[in-house]
Structure 1
């Protein structure tokens, strides 16, 4: 069961890692906030005008020594009175000259005055945006965000564009089978590491997005250069630390990950590995993960929480499979959802799913067959973290649901 941070529970037999967050969390409370002064040490901030060319705020009035403020005010008042009287006199002379004109002169002046013509300004049509800036047109029957337009937290008007952007970014993060450049590692060691990361995520009560991102960061780092076997757990725990900083509101600290590694590494080694991973990934860790796509696609068919959890179970099991590493996250999420829908007898791949995912059944069929083979194969006794996690009632015990038979699955794929 998950545990609160800052307390060290007893280590249970058979557990791969101690059920504890590390030391050093109890002294991380922030001190009292100090109110900052609104003025500078030299005094109140100086006033300045934003538009000195159209205001008189920039004009400085210099007073001579010994001049009193009252005399200055009287001078300004006298000038203002004089200017007003001058204007009144000029207006009076103008009105007298106009009244002295004869009716014939007034009529002649009206006739000689030019008549202003009305200028009709034609409306300019709006400039057409380039294709990559145009908002996607969503048919009404496929608009799954229309009901959430009044909720600003869901950004319904941008949801389709956001996931199209994430799907386009997948091209940058496509991996291949990198085990050929890792002489000290193999697919079994990677699967054990992923199984351990699942247990860490559960013990620290981290988001599932953190787990998926940690696995992605680990794979991308391992694809850059060969590493020794002794540093594999250091890489995985550091990748989880980076993912926690990216996804969590209150991420675990370095000491927590040192504890779950049973103090096999030093603090300086974790920090040095964090620097190496970030440099290898060029500090771009916003990697599209299948978990986000899975929740989006499940919304298209209004899938129940049990159906979504079944698809999440299949997707989390796939993290351990080395041959599924090259697959795009959106494609893997679509295949997991299709397998869950067939297992729950909820139909196949509908047109609305084709519209939002961009994949047809023919593109999903090879991955769905691979996932079905993964579920029906005998489980490895060393890799039980995911299966035991999803046998809990919190996850609707979806790990105990019988796998759909191959004949029914092939019928749905046709």
Structure 2
């Protein structure tokens, strides 16, 4: 049997005459350009064949009989799956006839192509084929497969969301940049703060110690601390000195009764001791006498100094809130505005007697947490802060709420020393920041 050139696009001769969108063969039959024939066929079939409307491939023998149908290898799509089911149902109800039925005249329309009818006949009607297949009901197994794929996609999306939620926030190594700095003591810093954490209870005082005082009360204490904050600011002393002053006063008043007229003397003497411990350039005794409006003599100041240092058993090395503030601000990767606001909040707590019930480390952590919430507008406490402070967010909320309330009334009461200090350019106008009122509802 002669091989048809039309099954091999490379062998098409240029002698064919093209009329409009159709071509004519030497026998006068009309046909379309081969480039428009069933573009889904990737490669030409291995032998001459005929394709029926339902995609079945058959080959004729010389005597007119045809061999069993050979299925075309094409991707299993929804429409093709519908065709396969339709063919199976049709084959189950009808007998396969041994000969090829003649092509009806209805097929030879503009959408139908007959190539070389004398030899191998190729009949393709892709448009009618897909229109017919679209009318079929989708087979059950296709519906099940589609449902399974949708369920798998949904489960994959849920797994991805769970993976995102389960990803733990990395803990930042805050000492990486200081490993070559010998003054940072990176090798010992964790051990040092573990020791501070264990010994901070020794520097704390009973939160109700003022009940043992017969001539002074917590309001007088607040007035004294607020005045000392102003003196500290005027003398331009170090921050460490202020926190040690307050600690020395509370520890002394917790074990020794003091009359009202000697309370200011206790305050200036505590400042003298703290300056000797922390400062490089220490103010002289006469400076403290002048700042107290000469209410006390030099001898009274020195006598009170001896009494205080013996009562405290020379124990001035205590972890104050400032010690923890430095480390915790580093863990929070703070910037200048956050740092100033945190110090403003914790200095407000120094004046308040009720804040003595919180240990220094908790005060420092809560001040940083409250400052972050104030600037960020929402609660922020990451894994790095939790690791270094040893406090979770829930443990800080009670203290943070009190700090917010102090922040709200900072500039309205009589004790306005801290508010004046942090309303200056030097301290970034931190006192003018709007308080984090939303924390009060947490």
Query: Where on the TM-score scale, by shorter chain, does this alignment land: which range?
Result: 0.5 to 0.7
CA distance in structure 1 between the partners assigned to 2:419 and 2:433 by the alignment: 11
The runs of 4+ residues in structure 1 deviating greater than 6 Å are none
Choose from 406, 411, 416 the match for 1:384. 416
Name the Cα RMSD after superposition: 1.7
CA distance in structure 1 between the partners assigned to 2:383 and 2:421 by the alignment: 33
Residue 369 of structure 2 is matched in structure 1 by 338
Query: Which TM-score applies when normalising by structure 2?
Result: 0.59
CA distance in structure 2 between the partners assigned to 1:378 and 1:243 by the alignment: 26
CA distance in structure 2 between the partners assigned to 1:379 and 1:178 by the alignment: 28
Q: Which has the higher strand share?
A: 2
Query: Which TM-score applies when normalising by structure 1?
Result: 0.63
Choose from 196, 202, 213 the match for 2:233. 202
Higher relative CO (Cα under 8 Å, sequence separation at least 6) belongs to 1
1:203 Cα deviation after fit = 1.0
Greater mean deviation of Cα atoms: 266-275 or 376-385: 376-385
CA distance in structure 2 between the partners assigned to 1:207 and 1:178 by the alignment: 28
Residue 193 of structure 1 is matched in structure 2 by 224
Alignment of 1:148 with 2:178, yes or no, is yes
Alignment of 1:400 with 2:435, yes or no, is no
Q: Which has the larger radius of gyration?
A: 2
Q: How many residues align?
A: 272
Residue 19 of structure 1 is matched in structure 2 by none
CA distance in structure 2 between the partners assigned to 1:229 and 1:349 by the alignment: 43
Choose from 195, 200, 214 the match for 1:165. 195
Residue 323 of structure 2 is matched in structure 1 by 292
CA spacing shift, 1:410–1:331, aligned 2, 3 Å: same
Unaligned runs of at least 5 residues, structure 1: 1-138
CA distance in structure 1 between the partners assigned to 2:261 and 2:440 by the alignment: 42
Residue 308 of structure 2 is matched in structure 1 by 277
Residue 79 of structure 2 is matched in structure 1 by none
CA distance in structure 2 between the partners assigned to 1:363 and 1:194 by the alignment: 27
Choose from 237, 242, 267 the match for 1:236. 267
CA distance in structure 2 between the partners assigned to 1:286 and 1:155 by the alignment: 18
Q: Deviations over 1:107-155 (max 9, x none)?
A: xxxxxxxxxxxxxxxxxxxxxxxxxxxxxxxx99442112211111211
1:410 Cα deviation after fit = 4.5
CA distance in structure 2 between the partners assigned to 1:339 and 1:301 by the alignment: 12
Helix, strand or coil at the partner of 1:319 = helix
